[in-house]
Every structure is written in C-alpha cells, then in structure tokens.
Chain A
Amino acid sequence: MNLYKLKYKPLGSIAVLIEWPKMIDVAILRNIHVFRHKIKSDIGEYVLETVPAYNSLTVFFDTGRIKYSSVVKDLKEIYASKDQKLLTAYKLWEIPVCYEDKFGLDLGLMAEAKSLSKEKIIELHSAQVYDVYFIGFLPGFLYLGGLPEQLNFNRKDEPRLNIKRGDVAIAGDQSGIYPRVSPGGWNIVGNSPLSFFDVDKFPPCFAVAGDKLKFIPVTIKEHDRIKKEVESGVYEIVSEING
C-alpha cells in the first residue's frame, strides 16, 4: 500500500490531515479508499470518523484517549504495512438523468463555446463511467471524477441562487450532483429524479466514496415517472457489484 509519499498535518486539535500528491487521480482515490478501510479495522477503537476528499483523508480521533503524535505514528505504520488484503469491491450505480431543455440549463452555452451539438455533449457525458471521490459541501453532494476532457467547463462567474435538487453539474474537470436546492456556480447539464440524501435512512446516501456511476439519459416523461416512484418509495436504483 506504501505507494505515495504522504504528508501528515494537524487539523485543529481533533484530526490528522493526510495529504497525497496534489492531483485528481483514480489511483489516489483507490489508495485513499484502501487506507481508510485499514484505519477503520486497525485503529477503529479511537478513530471517530474519517473524511476522504480528492487527495486527502482526514482522521478524527478521540482526543481523550490518544495524542496527535501517537495517531500519526500508528497511521504511518499502517500505511507502511505489507498487508495486501485490499478491499477493491465497489458498486456501479445507474443514475437516470433528463438532459432535455427544461433541465439542461447550460447545455446550450456549453455547446456554443465548444462548437459541439447538445446531442454530442449528452452522448459524451452519458457514455462515461464516473468515480465517486467523496461526499462534501452539502449533505449528500457527490464529487465525481472522470469527466471527459472535451466537457471541461469553468464555473459561472455569477452563481445561480437556486440550483434544483438532483441537478447534475460541471465545474472545470469536476462533476457533481446537487442533493438539494442550493446556490451554486456549477454548470447544469441535466436533472436526476433520484434522492441522493435521505436523513431517515442509514446510510443516508446510497453511493459512497470509491463507488462508480453512470448517467442514463431519460425523457421528461420517464423522469417524472421515476420521481413519483422515488417519492412513494418503490423505485429501486439499479446497481451492480464489481471487484
């Protein structure tokens, strides 16, 4: 597992911030994912929670039981261990998305800027398999990697005040899904009728860091039907387990 030169820094007095090289890269995602699982199984008795991000993992520890320097020592030992029982299983989720004009608010703008047809953008966007890097910013906001380079598009200068729940969005080379109404500067390409955060379920999000997902284009009619099924609790999200 000892693949990268990591940096360990304190985040306040309650957490250790572990940093990987500064890039968004799927090999780093896998490495963080494996490390995270080993931390849970090896030192879970004093680790309260871990927060992965693109190139970092933040480990919150029980300050009443252990001090910062001892946590870092344990973490370095775990990372250096030769144990190769790697957890590589992940789920591939199928996310229905309606790209039609009612929802794909920035498709026209992107098409013009990139001299591509809207259809081509939709085709590129939905042909890709995306990696869920982590959840952050808002409860249930999925940060995705794997956007085709042709679709990279900078954030808007003026953020929208009301991005809709389920909006699928692009910012630079990142892609994400808004789990609820929120202000935001990302470009909106479509909307998914699924619920990405349910406070009364455990876990509250169906997808977790390390999973993959794929967007399946649907019509407005299908979108509305799925939305009703999600609301009445009968819709089953399609997923397959790999690894």
Chain B
Amino acid sequence: MDNNILILSEGMHCSIQDLGRKGYRSYGVPISGAMDKFSAILANKLLNNEENAATLEVTRVGPKIMFEDHTLIVLTGADMSPALNGDPIIMNFVYAVNTSDVLSFGHLMYGTRAYLGVKGGFMTETKLKSRSFYDGITSKEKIAKGERVPIASYNEDLEVTSSKIKVSSSHFTTKKIEVTKGPEFHRLTKKQRELLFTKEFKIDKLNNRMGYRLKEKFSPIKQSEIITSATIPGTVQLTPSGKLIILMRDCPTTGGYPRVIQLTDLAINQLAQKKEGDSFKFDLESSFSFLGRLVSRFKD
C-alpha cells in the first residue's frame, strides 16, 4: 500500500533518519538519528507529522528523486538549491508533488545537511524501534541509485496551508559551539583549559556521522587513556596524539579516551551543518542559559 520515491541519482550520502534508536546502548547499539535534529523536527512540524517521523538526510551533494505518487514535501536544513521539475523551490516551505515530479538539487548555498520530509514520513524497515540507517542494524547505510524508497501513502487533497518559516542563519554560521564540562575535564591543566576556550578550531577532513576530528594539535594529557566507559553524541575526546574528536550521532556507546568536554544538543545540531575547514570556538555555558536559548529558538 505504501507509495515510493525512485532514486535517479544518489548524491553524496543520503540516509533515512528519525530521532534515533533508544534503549539499546547496553547492547552496544549507537543512538543514530538525524545529525541536525532541529532541522529534522522542523520538517516534520511543517508537515504536521510526528516529530519522530523518518526523513531523508542529504549530505552536501543532493540526489535526484522522482515521486511515483502524490504527497506533500518540505526541505529544511542546508540549502542545496532545490528545484521541482527544474523550477527553484524555497527552504522550509511545504510543496505538493504529483506523480512523476522530479526533485533535484544544485549548488550548496549554506549548511551541510538537508532534510527531506514527506507527509507521514519515510516507511523503510524498522529495526530495534527505529528506521535510522546504521550499517549492521539496517540492511543499508545509504540509499543508492535505482532504488525505490517507500514513503507513507497520502490520499488527501494536495492543499498546502504552510506559511513561510524563517530559520535564524546563526544555526548555520555560528562560531560558538556550546559545551559543558566532561567527566575528565579536571585532568586538563590550567593552561590547556585556557587554550581550549580561546583557540579557534578547524574541522578536519575526517568528519562523518560517527565523529568530527579537529585539525589542531592539542597537547595530550598525562593519563592519555581511561578505563573504557560510556560516550554519547557530543562527547569530545582527547586522543593520545593530542587531537580532539567530537563524537556525533553514530558514535560507539563506549570509548577509552578522556572525555574532556561535552557539546549541548543544540551545539551538535549546529556542528552537523559545518564542513571541513569551518572554524569555531568552544563556549563554556551554564546549562541554564542553554535551556533558555533552546526555548527561544523553538519560538522563532
């Protein structure tokens, strides 16, 4: 009964993501889910979907997609110059699509990850209570050319009642990444702490759904390993070679490097929109002001 979209070209790395796989960490199963949760949730809100409905996460280079049935769609997150049947469409706005309509992408204008939401969500397999792609849990880790990807069927009228939503550009351009202290923060020397919060860091070539490595060499700490313990998305590890690694949504459930600082969820979403070479500073915030700003963000 499900409808489908047909993948005409696959882009760089497109995967189905909802808000993740909760409750299986003690079996070593990562949380996964949308890298930029804020944008994925926004797509679903604009479509009146459940927040956890599965979206298509598109990384930097967009795919080409043909709709095989009619539905409503919206794009949030990074602007990759989307077009419907060749005509440009705008971000954060709901469009009706008909059978045989083609969605394509062009130049990346800002951000790194876009989210394609469809009415009712994508209907790929559910494994351990989530549709989020993860190698070894779901049968695929990304979508490929020629595949049909199931979406919810939508038989109502194609009446669009969306109003235009403006997302603050700071979500994509901010140079401040909010963090709190990690469990091994106290192992840093005073000098290292100072450096950590004043230095500008650049994102390395090695950045993906599992983690972002930072280019700068930071001085390693004396006890450079810890007895393996829990890690979560946003945990910043200091490796024995002195490099910082920020763990992202697909990170392992445990790790053996000191966890020096921890990104807030808002900061993970913002980092997910950055790419190799982008720079930022870590900003040690109290959790109170973080919550305050999160609320005002959702009020926008």
B-contacting residues of A (Cβ < 8 Å)?
9-15, 17, 19, 22-24, 48-56, 58, 60, 134-141, 143, 179-180, 197, 199-200, 203-205, 208-209
Q: Is B197 an interface residue (CB 8 A)?
A: no
**Docked complex Cα distance between A9 and B184 (Å):** 10
**Docked complex Cα distance between A122 and B264 (Å):** 47
Q: Could you tell me if B28 and A137 are in contact, using CB atoms closer than 8 angstroms? A: yes
Residues of B within 8 A of A50 (CB): 26
Query: 18 additional contacts, CB 8 Å, given A143-B228, A197-B28?
Result: A11-B183, A13-B264, A13-B290, A17-B229, A17-B230, A22-B227, A48-B22, A49-B26, A51-B230, A52-B26, A53-B229, A54-B227, A134-B26, A136-B253, A139-B24, A140-B28, A199-B137, A204-B128
Residues of A within 8 A of B26 (CB): 49-52, 134-135, 208-209
* Distance from B128 Cβ to chain A, minimum over Cβ atoms (Å): 6
Residues of A within 8 A of B24 (CB): 49, 139, 204
Residues of B within 8 A of A138 (CB): 28, 136, 252
Which of A11, A55, A203 has a CB less than 8 Å from the CB of B27?
A: A203
**Docked complex Cα distance between A9 and B226 (Å):** 15
Q: Is the contact region of chain A dominated by helix, strand, or loop, or is it mixed?
A: loop
Closest to B179 in A: A12
Closest to B29 in A: A139
**Docked complex Cα distance between A137 and B182 (Å):** 19
Q: Is the contact region of chain B dominated by helix, strand, or loop, or is it mixed?
A: loop
Which of A10, A136, A204 has a CB less than 8 Å from the CB of B254?
A: A136
Count A/B pairs, Cβ under 8 Å.
112
* Distance from A184 Cβ to chain B, minimum over Cβ atoms (Å): 12
Residues of A within 8 A of B235 (CB): 11-12
Can you list 8 contacts pairing A with B, beta carbon distance less than 8 Å?
A13-B265, A17-B183, A53-B229, A137-B252, A137-B255, A143-B228, A199-B137, A204-B24
Residues of A within 8 A of B265 (CB): 12-13
Q: Could you tell me if B264 and A139 are in contact, using CB atoms closer than 8 angstroms? A: no
Q: Could you tell me if B128 and A51 are in contact, using CB atoms closer than 8 angstroms? A: no
A-contacting residues of B (Cβ < 8 Å)?
22-30, 127-128, 136-137, 180, 182-183, 227-230, 232, 234-235, 252-255, 259, 262, 264-265, 287, 290
Q: Could you tell me if A140 and B183 are in contact, using CB atoms closer than 8 angstroms? A: no
Residues of B within 8 A of A13 (CB): 180, 264-265, 287, 290
**Docked complex Cα distance between A139 and B262 (Å):** 23
**Docked complex Cα distance between A53 and B252 (Å):** 13
* Distance from A147 Cβ to chain B, minimum over Cβ atoms (Å): 15
Which of B29, B180, B230 has a CB less than 8 Å from the CB of A56?
A: B230
Residues of B within 8 A of A56 (CB): 227, 229-230
Closest to B181 in A: A10
Decide yes or no: A180 and B230 within 8 Å by CB, A17-B183, A136-B254, A140-B28 being known contacts: no
**Docked complex Cα distance between A23 and B226 (Å):** 10
Residues of B within 8 A of A23 (CB): 227
**Docked complex Cα distance between A54 and B230 (Å):** 10
Residues of A within 8 A of B252 (CB): 136-138
Q: Could you tell me if A58 and B230 are in contact, using CB atoms closer than 8 angstroms? A: yes
* Distance from B151 Cβ to chain A, minimum over Cβ atoms (Å): 23
Residues of A within 8 A of B182 (CB): 11
**Docked complex Cα distance between A224 and B212 (Å):** 40
Q: Could you tell me if A199 and B28 are in contact, using CB atoms closer than 8 angstroms? A: no
Q: Could you tell me if A137 and B253 are in contact, using CB atoms closer than 8 angstroms? A: yes
Q: Could you tell me if B23 and A48 are in contact, using CB atoms closer than 8 angstroms? A: yes
Closest to A53 in B: B229
Which of A14, A136, A203, A209 has a CB less than 8 Å from the CB of B228?
A: A136
* Distance from B138 Cβ to chain A, minimum over Cβ atoms (Å): 8
Closest to B223 in A: A22
Q: Sort A-B residue pairs by CB-CB distance and give the 9 closest, nearest first.
A: A136-B254, A58-B230, A135-B28, A56-B229, A139-B28, A53-B229, A51-B230, A139-B29, A51-B25
* Distance from B261 Cβ to chain A, minimum over Cβ atoms (Å): 10
